[in-house]
Amino acid sequence: MKTKIIDLSNPLWLETLEKLRYDFYHLPQFVYLESQRTNTTPQALLISEGEKIFFLPYLIRRCDDLLDGELIPELFDVVSPYGYPGILLSEAAANSPDFLELAIKSLIFVLRNQNICSAFFRLHPILNQGLEKIYSPEICKITGETVAINLKLSHEEIWTQTHSSHRKVINRHKRNGIKVKMVLFDEYLEDFLEIYYESMERVGATKLYYFSHEFFWKLSKKLINNLHLSIVELDNEIISACLFTECCGIVQSYLSGTKNQFLKLSPDKLMFDYVRFWAKERGNEFMHLGGGYGGAKDGIYDFKSGFSKLRYKFLTLRLITDEEKYNYLVNLRAKFLNKQAEALFNSSFFPAYRSL
């Protein structure tokens, strides 16, 4: 079994993707932009044995921000780029539980040797289904449920699976002249940003979700072939917008927003209806809508579930790669927060030393 750490400049990154089914979040251009946005170090691990391939991109974070500037030993942890990257597997690898077990052990070994004490990965709901049957529940957790639309169904079947309340709103909007269209992201960037930032302010989003103007501009330049912007217009005014990704037959809603004064109209229902049939006509197999906030079955989940009956498990992989250093950080963080370390260990948050 061969193990190789790959950085973004290595052509092996793209060469490996060409052998596998991947998604937008695995592209080196996206991982690079995410590393710039989050001030992290991008990396990927390639493990192979004949036709068995295990490929995993991730971001390495410093841990010296945990104590509000207080100096601590140079320790790191790992997290997925934004979205649902997960592990890419060849068919031979996916059908070999023994190889997958050995690959995780190799991953832990590689990370530990880089002074990394933990790793948190969001797995891809479509590409990583079934891994919870391979890995123990201690490290592979069912965190929630996501919604997807099977675009291989007929138009009639897709429409039939739409909740009646959604169908009523969609038909009303069409009668009232509300329009949806796909536009070039770089040409409508400013319009999108105005709506997106207004929406983030409305929901009280954390700093993590305030993607900068520079980030979006670079995104439009580096990944324009994988990005599509959908806008909803009422009387020639853009009232809602959503950025969609398209990669290897999978379309996903990425970031979106609706102007405050038009929230009650639910214009995104008409948008999602339009985009799913647009995606189908382009030959895609799935439109993945995602789930609720943090995997919860909340209002966001209810909205998405109204478009399809297809569900996927949302899995997360949680690895303690160096238990001694992990425990050290938990104890330091607990002392900083004036809490008992046991309270952090018992929290559902991972890694425990990053809980609030």
* DSSP calls for 289-328: EE-SGGG--SHHHHHHHTT-SEEEEEEEEEEES-HHHHHH
**Cα separation of 200 and 209, whole Å?**
7
Instruction: Categorise residue 312: left if φ over 0, alpha if ψ from -120 to 50, beta otherwise.
Output: beta
* DSSP calls for 166-220: HHHHHHHHHHTT-EEEEE-TTTSHHHHHHHHHHHHHHHT--GGG---HHHHHHHH
For the chain, percent of residues with pLDDT exceeding 70: 99
CA angle (57, 59, 61) in 5-degree steps: 160
**Cα separation of 299 and 266, whole Å?**
13
Which pTM was predicted?
A: 0.93
Helices 28-38 and 213-222: crossing angle, nearest 10°?
170
HSE-up (13 A, CA, CB side) for residue 80: 22
Report, as ranges of residue numbers, the positions in the chain whose pLDDT lies below 70: 69-71
| Domains of the chain, earliest start first | 2-144+315-354 (3.40.630.30), 152-284 (3.40.630.30)
